Amino acid sequence: MSMKTKRHSVNQNASSDEWASVAKPKDVQTLNAMEQTSIRALVSYVAYTHGLEEDVVRGFVQTRFHADDVKNISSADYDNAVAYLVDFDPRQAALQREPTASQNEPPPEGHE
């Protein structure tokens, strides 16, 4: 039996408050070794090009994709994580909180 999860569409109209309180499902497939290496390399490159510490950029990525470590980012979010790092703007990183592919549950009631 496969543990892969289906890719879900994302409600692009959801506010950041709605998505901030949505928990990541526990059975989500995380990044494989090659994807982890790619994300770590991009984190290093982005940190170098923007004159930041790698821990700072890694922290933005982990916060953005609701992971306690880069290796725990959902594999469904891999393309989004790459795009985030390619387009990384340190001035906007802390302000942008768009939903990610792994956040497939509707927001809790009262957050409309």
Residue 77 lies in a domain: yes
Domain count, the chain: 1
Give the pLDDT score at 10. Answer: 44
Residue 82 lies in a domain: yes
Give the pLDDT score at 86. Answer: 95
Residue 16 lies in a domain: no
Give the pLDDT score at 92. Answer: 80
What are the CA-CA distances from residue 90 to residues 46, 53, 85, 108 (Å)? 10, 12, 10, 30
Range of the domain at 53: 38-92
**Could you state, in chain order, the average pLDDT of each consecutive group of 10 residues for the chain (112 residues)?**
42 42 64 96 96 94 92 95 94 62 54 50
Reported pTM: 0.61
Sign of CA dihedral 33, 39, 40, 42: positive
Residue 59 lies in a domain: yes
Tally of helices (H runs) and strands (E runs) in the chain: 5, 0
24-53 burial code (b ≥16 CB/10 A, e <16) = beeebebbeeebbebbbebbeebbeeeebe
